Amino acid sequence: MATTYVGAIDQGTAGTRFMVFDHDGRVVASAYRRHEQIHPEPGWVEHDPVEIWNNTKAVVTTALNDAGLDATQLGAIGVANQRETTVVWDAETGRPVYNALVWRDRRTVDRVSAMRDTAVADRIRETTGLECDPYFSATKVEWILDNADPLKLDRTRADDVRDRAEAGDLLFGTVDAWLVYKLTGNHVTDVTNASRTMLYDVRDLEWDDALLEEFDVPRSMLPTVRPSSDEAYYGYTDADGFLGAEVPVAGALGDQQAALLGQTCFDPGDTKNTYGVGSFCLMHTGEDAVESEHGLLTTVGFQLSGEPVQYALEGSVFTAGAAIRWLGDVGLLTNDAQTAELARSVDSTDGVYVVPAFDGLGAPHWDCRACGTIVGLTRGTRKAHVVRATLESIAYQTRDVTTAMAADAGVATPSLRVDGGAVKNDFFCQLQSDVVQTDIVRPVVDETTALGAAYAAGLAVDYWGSLDELRWNWQVDRQFEPSLDAETAARKYDRWESAVERSLDWATD
Ligand code: G3P
pLDDT beyond 90 at 12: yes
Read off the pLDDT of residues 34-68 as tens digits, 9 standing for 90 and up. 999 999 998 999 999 999 999 999 999 999 999 99
In percent, the amount of the chain with pLDDT more than 90 equals 88
Contact 75, 463 (CB under 8 A): yes
* For ligand 1, mutation pick of 9, 10, 13, 55 (most atoms within 8 Å of CB): 13
- Give residue 336's pLDDT band: very low, low, confident or very high (50, 70, 90): confident
pLDDT of residue 409: 79
Read off the pLDDT of residues 265-298 as tens digits, 9 standing for 90 and up. 999 999 999 999 899 999 999 998 999 999 999 9
pLDDT beyond 80 at 2: no
Distance 10 CA to ligand 1 centre (A): 10
* 77-86, 316-325, 401-410, range with greatest mean pLDDT: 77-86
* For ligand 1, mutation pick of 256, 282, 318 (most atoms within 8 Å of CB): 256
Contact 338, 304 (CB under 8 A): no
The CA-to-CA distance between both ends of the chain, in Å, stands at 64
Q: DSSP string covering 424-446, please?
A: G-HHHHHHHHHHHTSEEEEES--
Considering only CA atoms, give the Rg of the chain: 22
pLDDT beyond 50 at 14: yes
Helix axes 486-503, 383-409, angle to 10 degrees: 100
- Average pLDDT (492-504) is 96
Distance 81 CA to ligand 1 centre (A): 8
Residue 12: CB within 6 Å of ligand 1?
yes
pLDDT of residue 155: 46
Q: Using alpha carbons only, what angle is made at residue 339 by residues 333 and 345, rounded to the nearest 5 degrees? A: 105
Read off the pLDDT of residues 209-261 as tens digits, 9 standing for 90 and up. 999 999 999 999 999 999 999 999 999 999 999 999 999 999 999 999 999 99
For strand 74-81 and strand 248-254, is the pairing parallel, antiparallel, or unpaired? parallel
Residue 399: CB within 6 Å of ligand 1?
no
Distance 318 CA to ligand 1 centre (A): 8
Ligand 1 atom closest to 278 (CA):
9
Mean pLDDT of the chain: 93
Residue 295: CB within 6 Å of ligand 1?
no
